[in-house]
Structure 1
Amino acid sequence: MKKGLQKLLVSTVAVLTLGFITPSHAIWENLLEHNTNHKTQLSKQSTTRHNYIDTVFEDSVTDIEAFSDNVLLNAKEQAYIKFGSKIGPKIEDEFNNIIFPKIEEAIHMTLENVDQQDIKNLAITEKPSGDYSEKMFHIYNTTTRKDVIRFHVRTENRPFDGYYYNFHYHIYKDQFASHYNLGEIYWSKNTPPKWLS
């Protein structure tokens, strides 16, 4: 459990700070010391109390907020994988400040309409499309293999104006027919590189 928690924390810090800040070893020492004290206290309690704590923990893992936090971390990671090293650094400020908050809002709105029992069956795709394809990531039901929401970015060439990245999403309620606009980021008048480059 310690190693899993440690890996989760390291990856969370790395994703949130885009690798610019690495967690110090003092964090792990305090965390391990806290875990040791916490385990000692738990072992002194009765087994029925211990079983109750396990049940509460399992219920909280499937909670919508815990799931959405996990999805948001993965969503940002998948977006930056799609952007690659050529596009990502040039659009990251606008993406983080303008587009990603709208992605968060769309994910929260969608999850509010999903049955609580189905939340535990949702996952995020891990392979954004390259070349000039639109797919950033989809959230789908692992049981039915059907998408719930799809997030895309389209490269648009506007004559005399240049290239724009149009961020949008589609939802299952209208069979993914409508575009729900999240915003645009201007690239330049030059042809942008392919995704994943």
Structure 2
Amino acid sequence: MPKWLRKSLLLVVTVATFGLVTPQGLLTDSPNEDKHSKRDAYETNPSNSEEYFETEDVSERDKFINEMVRVAEEQSFVKFGTRIKPVIQDEFREFILPSMEKAIAEVALQYPDEELSQLIVSEVPSGGVSERIFHIMDNQTNQDVIRFHVRRDHPPQEEYMFNFHYHTSHDQFQAHHHLGIINWDKNTPPKWMT
């Protein structure tokens, strides 16, 4: 039986039975092979499996992305301070943070897995009315790769809003890449980090 068909059948049976039944006959290459020898070899040395390497590669990238998203949330909440954070934190988590995660994932795809450890958060948030939340930089070259900012906008006759965006090194940080907007209200928001 072709290997792909065997794996497909194994997956279907396992999913259909919620993992309670795994047909052992589908795990072996041929009917004459010892049923336990292959399974025991895998259990003692999981690196024999091709899937093991694929998941490890993906998991290293995922670990990097998850860590950067954690730092993004942490740095953003530091920037918001104790007066702005309680008002906008839920909207930030629901709308802005997933967009930040996508931008971070795009950056991560531009680097080989072994170079991801060179990317670090370069800045602490800035207070007052400045825009900087944090930057991700290449520690080896000391150059920023991506910059996450939030701008306070106040269009005439409208309420204040926080415009979240990022800049990339691909265009020398000129273009604004939109992440989202969170409305404040008609009153002037407090300064960042207050």
TM-score by length of 2: 0.68
Per the alignment, residue 183 of structure 2 pairs with: 186
The structure having more radius of gyration, on CA atoms, is 2
Per the alignment, residue 111 of structure 1 pairs with: 108
Q: 2:121 aligns with which of 120, 124, 136?
A: 124
Deviation at 1:112, TM superposition (A): 0.7
Per the alignment, residue 71 of structure 1 pairs with: 68
Per the alignment, residue 171 of structure 1 pairs with: 168
RMSD (Å) for aligned C-alpha atoms? 2.2
| AA aligned opposite 2:109 | E
Q: Report the Cα distance in structure 2 between the residues aligned to 1:125 and 1:170, rounded to whole angstroms.
A: 14
Unaligned runs of 5+ in 1: 1-55
% of aligned pairs identical? 42
- Whether 2:69 is the aligned partner of 1:80: answer no
Deviation at 1:125, TM superposition (A): 2.9
List aligned pairs for 1:22-171, cutoff 5 A: 63-171=60-168
Deviation at 1:107, TM superposition (A): 0.6
| AA aligned opposite 2:176 | H
| AA aligned opposite 1:136 | I
Deviation at 1:118, TM superposition (A): 2.2
Unaligned runs of 5+ in 2: 1-52
Deviation at 1:116, TM superposition (A): 2.9
Q: Report the Cα distance in structure 2 between the residues aligned to 1:186 and 1:178, rounded to whole angstroms.
A: 22
Per the alignment, residue 49 of structure 1 pairs with: none
User: Could you give the per-residue CA deviations for residues 50-70 of structure 1, whole angstroms, max 9, x where no partner exists?
Assistant: xxxxxx9xx87x921111111
Per the alignment, residue 50 of structure 1 pairs with: none
Q: Report the Cα distance in structure 2 between the residues aligned to 1:126 and 1:133, rounded to whole angstroms.
A: 13
How many correspondences in the alignment? 142
| AA aligned opposite 1:151 | F
